[in-house]
Amino acid sequence: MFPFKNNHTLSLSIGSHAASRAVMLFAAAALIGFLGWSGVARLSWISLLYPFLYLQSRSRLESLSAVFYYAGATWSVIPGSAVFFGTNASFALPLLLFLGCITLGGFPWILLYNRRLTEVSAIAALVVLALPPLSFVTVAHPLISAGQWFPATRWFGILLPLLAILLYRWFGQRYTAGVLLASFLVTHVRWIPPTADPHVAAIDTHFGGTAFVPLSPSVLYQQERLIQNESLKHPDAVVLFPETIVPAWSRMTDTHWSGTFRALEQQHTTLLLGTTVPVPATEGSRNILLARGFGPHFAYVQRIPVPLAMWHFGGSDGFPLMLRYPPTIRVLNQHAAVLMCYEQLLVWPAMQSLARNPDMLLAPSNDYWASKTPIPAIQHEAARDWADLWDIPLYEARNE
């Protein structure tokens, strides 16, 4: 009887220790996600710690820490989507979107878990989440913060954490931390942040939900005049305005603005204007950054709109995926990478744009629906991390 009691006590002790360990991992993962994606200036580096926390998992149960990481990182989807979809939407929709973010983000970490090859599991999850199709619908990728860790290192800054994860089993915690810290110090000591070009002006606005809420003609006219007057204040420059700052564009709109465009051309001002245009023969639209005034007339087309809110997964309405459009544009005789709003939070479109070795990063956004959440600050930190990683100046134009 005594051996039985001892074994029973031992099994209870082991079970209690395993449960306590799992709870600690879950709490640490949630904290990493919450702080790393809080939007607080220069805290995004914390998110890169999650893959190394995942390496401590001794069972598939403990790999569920991924769920808590994404829960901490994406909680702001709930208040943000509640404002975006308005009072007519079901109260459960924001919660369902939040659960979707958690499920899609955490699934690869859990599915690919292998206790004997945890390092390979972590790298595989990071790669799967960075590639289509999951990269279209998942945010809070830990590698986005590489720019804050290793500025001006480009592809090396992406590969170094992956190499550190791969060699973690042989190097151990202290040596791995030492390598990462030394790399952090070396890159920051030698790095001088790029200087902003005085000939690029990024204009923030406070138009609210102009693109999605019907407004009176007089209000739209006042907003147009503000855009036109602000543009004319910047001769010999590129003027960047936020996403969808003009709700819709057509040939009639082009004609209506022709006087302003002529004036801009005469003073050598290029206007980059966020708006939308219809997709021919469909009920859908394209979300674009329109170039008018001095220089070539063209449009950057947003490749990946926000799922559900804009991109309706194969429906004929909304804003469909536009993956074949160029990831960069040319302004001031330089290549400019463009990441429009939601694209700033994704690895795939960012890698597409940055792979062209751009000279600057343009980041127009329309965050009126998220103005009372951390989402605008999170987007700013992500865009800043991408620009710092490639050592290029960042120009942001935001509407709230």
In 3D space, the residue among 389, 335, 326 whose CA is nearest the CA of residue 360 turns out to be: 335
Whole-number pLDDT of residue 4: 47
Higher-pLDDT residue of 205 and 1 is 205
Torsion angle in degrees (nearest 10) through CA of 380, 202, 272, 151: -50
Region for residue 305 given its phi and psi (left: phi exceeds 0; alpha: psi -120 to 50; beta: otherwise): beta
What are the boundaries of each domain within the chain? 2-150+153-190, 200-399
Q: What is the pLDDT of residue 213?
A: 63
Q: What gap in Å lies between CA 350 and CA 348, rounded to an integer?
A: 5
Instruction: Answer yes or no: is pLDDT of 197 > 60.
Output: yes
Strands 328-331, 334-338: pairing kind: antiparallel
Half-sphere exposure of 10 (CA within 13 A, CB side): 6
- In angstroms, the CA 398 to CA 327 distance is 20
Please, what is the end-to-end C-alpha distance for the chain in angstroms? 71
User: What's the confidence (pLDDT) of residue 1?
Assistant: 45
Amino acid at 26: F
Burial 339-375 (b: 16+ CB within 10 A, else e): bbbbbbbbbbbbbbbbeeebbbbbbbbbbbbbeebbb
Q: How far is CA 49 from CA 30, 31, 162, 173, in A?
A: 12, 11, 12, 12
Whole-number average pLDDT of the chain: 93
- Please give the pLDDT value at position 14: 56
Count of all residues that appear for the chain in the document: 400
Confidence of residue 42 (pLDDT cuts 50, 70, 90): confident
Mean pLDDT along residues 224-234: 96
pLDDT on residue 219: 83
- pLDDT digit string (tens) for 19-39? 899 999 999 999 999 999 999
The distance of Cα 371 from the centroid of its chain, to the nearest Å, equals 16
pLDDT over threshold 90, residue 87: no
Q: Note the pLDDT of residue 7.
A: 58
Query: Which amino acid is present at 125?
Result: A
Which range has the top average pLDDT, 108-117, 211-220, 305-314, 369-378? 108-117
User: Smallest Cα–Cα separation from 144: which of 345, 341, 305, 324?
Assistant: 345
Q: Name the pairing type of β-strands 269-278 and 283-293.
A: antiparallel
**Percent of the chain whose pLDDT exceeds 70:** 94
- Region 377-400: mean pLDDT is 97
138-177 pLDDT per residue, tens: 999 999 999 999 999 999 999 999 999 999 999 999 999 9
Q: How far lies 164's CA from each of 16, 49, 245, in Å?
A: 32, 12, 43
Confidence label for 214 from pLDDT (cuts 50, 70 and 90) = low
CATH match of 200-399 with 3.60.110.10 = yes
- pLDDT score of 2: 44
Instruction: Give the pLDDT of residue 17.
Output: 74
On whether the pTM is more than 0.85, the answer is yes
How high is the pLDDT of residue 11? 55
In the prediction, which pLDDT does 61 show? 96
Question: What digits encode the pLDDT tens for the residues 278-304?
Answer: 999 889 999 999 999 999 999 999 999
Q: Is 133 exposed, middle or buried (0-12, 13-18, 19+ CB in 10 A)?
A: exposed
Closest CA to 383 of 329, 337, 334: 337
